[in-house]
Amino acid sequence: MSLLEQTLSSISKTLNQEALAAAQDRLANQAKPAGSLGVMEEISARLAAIKGTIDVKLTNKQIITCAGDHGVCQEGVSLFPAEVTPQMVYNFANNGASVNVIGKHAGAVVKAADLGVNHDFEPDLPIFHKKIRKGTANFTKEPAMTRQEAILSIEAGIQIVNELDAQAPVDLLGTGDMGIGNTTPSSAIIAAFSGIEVEKLTGRGTGIDDQALKNKIDVIKKGLALHKPDPNDPIDVLSKVGGLEIGGIAGLVLGAAAKGIPVICDGFISTAGALIACELCPAAKNYLFASHKSVEIGHQYMHERLGLEPLIDLKFRLGEGTGAAVCMELLDLSTRILADIKTFEEVGIADAQ
């Protein structure tokens, strides 16, 4: 049995219903109007069901920023050159990027992972060295990668979770991305699964103008028409129009779900990875939280397909794991709402509800 098959078979289809019922009962009887903390109560109850306890502790928080380059950049879909991808990986490794700063504030360890950057990193650079190949192919001319490479990218993400959890049990995982041009394959992925018009799913990415946006839409249409990715085969979609870092993120989601670790999905690209994961195994959604609503217009369609409501809308469009880092603090707080707010019985108030 392959690592991917083994992981898929390890994901529980249901959460701990006893812990969920206990959490909901406690929330309903706390010394406040029932349901008055809204979504925070829902988060706390789901975390209890994932962890099997009312008193959840999210101590070991990890954010993995998966990086990869994209051959489709040759078609002029991004404002920035592909050379920025490896430069940003060095920035992550040196704790100088946005996700490093926000992640540190949230008490998370941030680490980059090279899934497919077109650069030779030094072996001692403190990142996860999981390169499958040096960037995807230009999907307007050939499939982005082979089917085997797509599977290997997913398994690399699973390996990262397994390695982290072996060092110390992971309580909460955040996903992030880095890859110039990667909003293009992300739009192509949701288009392939949903059948929605490409124009409705494609945004400006790094800030391209109207002419470049029209070109980007045409590029995605060309790739989809050429390869006809099968929406019933997530690996086919990933291999034909996806990205290596997107596959890595899918692996992070699946690896976390298999180990019962809640995972916060970041923005547009991270959600493309989560979509691949949940199309492969719908039960993975039980462990998945959507951090924020990206400015990228296709993001809402991904959330709708996943049946997830983003927790915040701060007009982010950066990626890296920044939204996931911000929302780690919300999940942390939700655990204290459930465990620490007293019930009416505990404070001696009778018949309040």
Please give the positions annotated as active site: 320
Cross-sheet strand order for the sheet of 288-290: 128-129, 108-116, 61-68, 172-178, 263-265, 288-290
Closest CA to 132 of 111, 159, 110, 109: 159
Most distant CA atoms of the chain, gap in Å = 71
What DSSP string describes 145-183? S-HHHHHHHHHHHHHHHHHHHHHS--SEEEEEEE-TTTH
- Contact status, residue 256 vs residue 174, Cβ threshold 8 Å: no
Q: Which of 138, 168, 136, 158 has the alpha carbon at shortest distance from 149? A: 136
The DSSP code sequence of 228-286 is ---TT-HHHHHHHH--HHHHHHHHHHHHHHHTT--EEE-SHHHHHHHHHHHHH-GGGGG
Type of residue found at 146: T
Distance, in Å, from the CA atom of 160 to the CA atom of 231, rounded to the nearest integer, reads 27
Q: CA 196 to CA 298: how far, in whole Å?
A: 10
DSSP β-bridge partners for residue 264: 174, 289
